[in-house]
Amino acid sequence: MNILKNYKCNLKGLDCANCAAQLENAIQKIEGVKNVSVNFMTGKLIFECSEEEEKEIIKKVKKTIRKEEPDLEVEGI
Amino acid sequence: MKKRGIKIIVAFVLFIISLVIKFPNEWLNNGIYILLYLIVGLDIVLKAIRNIFRGKVFDENFLMTIATIGAFAIGEFPEAVAVMLFYQVGELFQSYAVNKSRKSIASLMNIRPDYANVKRNEEILKVNPEDVNIGETIIVKPGEKVPLDGTIIKGKSMLDTSSLTGESLPRAVKENDDILSGCINQNGLLEIKVTKEFGKSTVSKILDLVENASNKKSKSENFITKFAKYYTPAVVIIAIFLAAIPPLVIKGAEFTDWIYRALTFLVVSCPCALVISIPLGFFGGIGGASKRGILVKGSNYLEALSDAEIVVFDKTGTLTQGVFEVQKIEAEGISNEELLKYAAYAENYSNHPIALSVKKAYRKEIDTKLISNIEELSGLGIKAKIQDKDVIIGNEKLMKEKNIEYKKCSEIGTILYVAIDNKFTGYILIADKIKKDSKEAIIKLKKSGIRKTIMLTGDRKDVGENVAKKLELDEVYTELLPDGKVEKIEELIKTKTKKGKLVFVGDGINDAPVLAISDIGIAMGGLGADSAIEAADIVIMTDEPSKINDAIKISKKTMKIVKQNIIFAITIKILVLILSAFGLSTMWEAVFADVGVSVIAIINSLRALK
């Protein structure tokens, strides 16, 4: 079984609650990503994915963020 | 944010002036409106243009831009400016409120220590707390935060634990006491031997818990995001129909009139107020709870707690203190003090919890030279020679076996019978003490609508039932093994109503499985136990059962605020939609209603923080 690892990062400039919800939906759709949570109040993105696919998935997550909310700065991953 | 604020105020003032002073030249008038529009709304328009290329047509920026440009197109210049202006006011207020509550949580985070003074090679170095190893000695000066968990090896002081427990009274500590990181040392100089590395210290655990709280979203929050997902497209589609169809079908209907109505729809199409006020309310509730020493792991738990119906308590360590104390001494022929002295001497070398509590009650130094011929009588007690007297100390069985005539004690607890030179000289009653606020907690729970209070314990029937009777609990189940407790909880879960929730409260030691299967698991005084913090959904940092009632109260208040916001915001929006569909509402009213709802819902949410 694949062991999932927890990833956490800050989204700087997250100032719209609806956008946070939409962003969460979009990231949820990326294959291999599990248990996504975009917390509007703390400005944090948390998700799980297997360690082997880490590089690829983080790249995809960042791409999705850029597409959905280009003004966000991603910190921590 | 400040810049945005100034921009909005300037535009607002100019807007009022231009409304009052009407220039005779219409071109000049309209030019001023367009200029104002660009001042307040240019960034929105630019964002909207960018979003179209990304295929986000239901984006709020885009909708506002369409609404306002549409207003310009049908010649409603002041409306266009007003919509954009008030939309911006709403946005500004939102970010103010969010910042405010983010900050109040951040102040909770102030317990993070910045450095540790570690003693290495007779030198004191200021280092990052993460670089201190277990076993090293750290110095904490008055006014400093305790950076790591440890044991005091030198000094005494008063500790301010308010940031950990919400308890405002300082706590006195001395040598050999355990000390938790995150407390503030008030007056004395303390030397502490570190027992846990920073990552496992209390302060890290709490920070982690607070930071990650509210990641588990509540049902209300999911409902609203789902609602928002359908609401906006629905309103926009209706708006399109509204603009296009009636003028074609109804005789004499004018395009501009129906376009105006459709644009009004777009003004209230943004669900922002709703979407923001729900997490804001929960965030406030969680923040307010942590101020009182109650850590809630997610908004879903706070939500569930408001439906609590059955509260199940573990006995030892939860309703009772979990420490055995001498409750009563009844001597015969000698003084109570002397009886205790003989007992303490006889028990001196034993590490049994009962022996420890006897020694604790005696308090004085024990002269070990006076003790000889100690003999442990397994399952019965201890026999020893103290000075020149033969002391036997133990249970009833021992007295019977030694044929000593004794006076039976009928009280509940562990009873130590003492005989000196084969003559009964009295007994010592040792029992677990009920916590001071246990009774009050049960009364309050019943008042706040909990249907049943139940106690589970592995303890003997008479002991358990005695405690339950004193606390006026509804039900009690005794002599349960750990898996018996799990079974009992499963049975109890079946007895609750469909919506009701079962809460289990334990001290987190040995009850992780029970905490996990309950709807809501609350661990109490569990700062020391790692397993408790992991298994529980709510952690109460002090060991007061009355905090459970506080937690329920906070959850009910939060839920009330959240429900008020949902009902209020949806009602107003639908009302405005209906009115504007029939042409009874102007764009002015719509924008006022929309921003007004946002502001009121947000102010209402901020109440949860208190």
* Residue B244, in any domain of the structure: no
Q: CATH number of the domain at B505, please.
A: 3.40.50.1000
What are the CB-based long-range contacts (under 8 Å, 24+) for B91-97? B92/B1, B92/B4, B92/B5, B92/B8, B93/B598, B93/B599, B93/B602, B94/A15, B94/B272, B94/B276, B94/B598, B94/B602, B95/A15, B95/B1, B96/B1, B97/B276, B97/B280, B97/B602, B97/B603, B97/B605, B97/B606
- Whether B459 is catalytic is no
Residue A43's pLDDT is 83
- Asked if residues B344 and B362 have their Cβ atoms less than 8 Å apart, the reply is yes
Among the ranges given (B18-22, B60-64, B244-248, B345-349), the one the predictor scored with the smallest mean pLDDT? B18-22
Regarding whether B328 and B307 lie in a shared domain, the answer is no
pLDDT, residue B117, reads 92
Give CA–CA dist B203/B192, Å, rounded. 16
pLDDT at A67: 84
Domain-embedded: residue B140: yes
* Chain A contact set for B270 (CB, 8 A): 18
Distance CA B34, CA B89 (A): 18
Contacts of A43 in chain B (CB under 8 A): 102
| B410 and B548 within one domain | no
Counted domains in chain B? 3
Mean pLDDT of B363-375: 85
Q: How far apart are the CA of A28 and the nearest CA of chain B, in angstroms?
A: 14
* Residue at B493 is within a domain: yes
The residue-averaged pLDDT of B237-243 equals 90
Domain shared by B305 and B405, yes or no: no
Contacts of A61 (CB under 8 A, 6+ apart): A27, A30, A33, A45, A47, A77
Q: Which of B208, B243, B275 is the last residue of a domain?
A: B208
Question: Mean pLDDT throughout B33-47?
Answer: 89
Give residue B530's pLDDT band: very low, low, confident or very high (50, 70, 90): low
Q: Is residue B33 part of a domain?
A: no
Global pTM reads 0.81
> B296 pairs with which residues across the strands?
B538
Q: What is the average pLDDT across B397-424?
A: 86
Q: Are residues B445 and B354 in the same domain?
A: no
Same domain, yes or no, for B175 and B202? yes
- Is the pLDDT at A12 greater than 80? The verdict is yes
Shared domain check, B413 and B461: no
Domain co-membership, B310 together with B459 = yes
Q: What is the mean pLDDT of chain B?
A: 86
Provide the pLDDT confidence category of residue B213 given band limits of 50, 70 and 90. Answer: low
Can you give the residue range of the structural domain that contains A63? Answer: 4-75
How many separate domains does chain A show? 1
Q: Which residue of B has its CA nearest to A25?
A: B225
| B392, B505: one domain | no
Shortest Cα distance, chain B CAs vs residue A18, angstroms = 6
B456 pLDDT band, cuts 50/70/90, is very high
Catalytic residue among B314, B511, B537, B543: B314
B490: confidence class by pLDDT, cuts 50, 70, 90: very high
Flag whether B189 is in a domain: yes
Q: Are B460 and B407 part of one and the same domain?
A: no
Kindly state whether residues B365 and B465 are assigned to the same domain. no
A19-71 pLDDT, tens digit each: 888 888 899 999 889 888 888 877 888 888 888 888 889 999 999 998 888 88
Q: What range defines the domain where residue B196 resides?
A: 116-208
Q: Do residues B309 and B454 both lie within one domain?
A: yes
Least confident window among B251-255, B262-266, B315-319, B420-424: B251-255
Q: B45 in a domain, yes or no?
A: no
Å between A44 CA and nearest CA of chain B:
9
A46 touches chain B (CB under 8 A): yes
The pLDDT tens digits for B431-447 are: 888 888 999 999 999 99
- For chain A, helix (H) and strand (E) counts, in that order, are 2, 4
Q: Is residue B348 part of a domain?
A: yes
Residue B468: pLDDT band with limits 50, 70, 90 = very high
Chosen domain end from B144, B177, B208: B208
- Domain of A20, CATH number, reads 3.30.70.100
Q: Does B420 share its domain with B448?
A: no
